[in-house]
């Protein structure tokens, strides 16, 4: 029977593509104070540093490819209705063929006006001070920084509330409101959690199957189940 499968992915989903996670030992924040590169205060203090940080991430994203895990998530659409809710700012779910992808924390290949949240542009090159919207206002990365609202969260909650199966992949479940999404799942539905170093899921009464593997290996396992 066709089921509504909701994927909640984090940085570990893209680790096998060569994009570093945030909180593993060699994670991105090493050497960078989070608040310097991913907060409105950091942006005001040193916009060049912030732009340089995201320019490097964007340049890297042009070089990498989706991994086996992304492709297997996309494959679930052959049999099921699949919604991907990702904390990742890369486009690897889309590139591997997933058609319903909601980005909670923004997208690297987009920039937006510093004056209007709704003036959003596709952007694949470096972004510099002096790059402006059509009204002359500076552009910034289309990323949700610490302390900023997560505009897509209400839509994400509705999707999770309706799920028949929730698959959580590669997230340390430390950043809210994203981590809190699992608590909106109906208590009766199964939750699968793929992560080589899984966090504890405190917020749920559901049956949780922890698969302590990488995204690729874990998705191979999921695909072998009769979901
Ligand atoms: P974290 O870096 O906090 O967690 C990454 C998770 O991936 C960890 O639990 C790892 O064990 C797991 N992991 C590592 N390699 C893996 C692999 N090959 N396969 C599967 N899992 C693997 O990343 P997130 O939980 O995504 O926000 O972090 C959440 C948010 O914190 C990010 O979206 C980012 C950051 O601040 C913004 O940029 C706004």
pLDDT tens per residue across span 173-210: 999 999 999 999 999 999 999 999 999 987 799 999 99
How many domains are there within the chain?
2
> How does residue 28 score in pLDDT terms, banded at 50, 70 and 90?
low
Confidence of residue 215 (pLDDT cuts 50, 70, 90): very high
171 lines ligand 1 (CB under 6 A): yes
Structural domain harbouring 138: 20-63+110-143
| CB of 144 shorter than 6 A to ligand 1 | yes
DSSP per-residue letters across 32-86: S-HHHHSSHHHHHH-HHHHHHHHHHHHHHHHH----HHHHHHHHGGGTSEEEEEE
Same domain, 118 and 12: no
Q: Which of 105, 128, 134, 142 is catalytic?
A: 105
DSSP secondary structure of 118-173:
T-EEE--S---TT-B-TTSPBEEEEE--TTS--TTHHHHHHHHHT-SEEEEES--S
Based on the fold, state whether residues 154 and 216 are members of the same structural domain: yes
Q: Is the pLDDT of residue 160 over 90?
A: yes
Kindly report the CATH number assigned to the domain that includes residue 41.
3.30.1600.10
Mean pLDDT for 49-56 is 94
pLDDT at 227: 79
Asked whether residue 28 falls in the same domain as residue 15, the answer is: no
| CATH number, domain with residue 80 | 3.40.50.1220
Kindly state if the Cβ of 9 falls inside 6 Å of ligand 1: no
**Euclidean distance between CA atoms 61 and 64, whole angstroms:** 5
Ligand 1 centre and the CA of 61: distance in Å?
A: 16
């Amino acid at each position: 029977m066709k089921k509504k499968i909701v994927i909640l992915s984090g940085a570990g989903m893209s680790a096998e593509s060569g994009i570093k996670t945030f909180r593993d030992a060699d994670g991105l924040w090493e050497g960078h104070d989070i608040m310097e590169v991913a907060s409105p205060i950091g942006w005001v203090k040193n916009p060049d540093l912030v732009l340089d940080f995201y320019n490097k991430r964007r340049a890297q994203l042009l070089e990498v490819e989706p991994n086996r895990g992304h492709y297997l998530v996309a494959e679930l659409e052959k049999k099921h209705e699949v919604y991907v809710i990702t904390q990742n700012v890369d486009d690897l779910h889309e590139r591997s063929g997933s058609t319903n992808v909601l980005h909670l924390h923004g997208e690297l290949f987009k920039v937006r006006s510093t004056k209007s949240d709704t003036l959003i542009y596709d952007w694949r090159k470096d972004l510099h001070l002096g790059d402006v919207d059509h009204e002359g206002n500076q552009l910034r990365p289309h990323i949700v920084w610490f302390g900023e609202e997560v505009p897509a969260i209400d839509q994400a909650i509705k999707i999770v509330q309706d799920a028949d199966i929730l698959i959580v992949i590669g997230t340390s479940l430390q950043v809210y409101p994203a981590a809190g999404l699992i608590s909106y799942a109906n208590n009766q539905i199964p939750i699968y959690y793929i992560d080589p170093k899984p966090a504890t899921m405190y917020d749920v009464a559901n049956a949780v199957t922890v698969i302590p593997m990488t995204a690729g290996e874990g998705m191979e396992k999921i695909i072998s189940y009769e979901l």
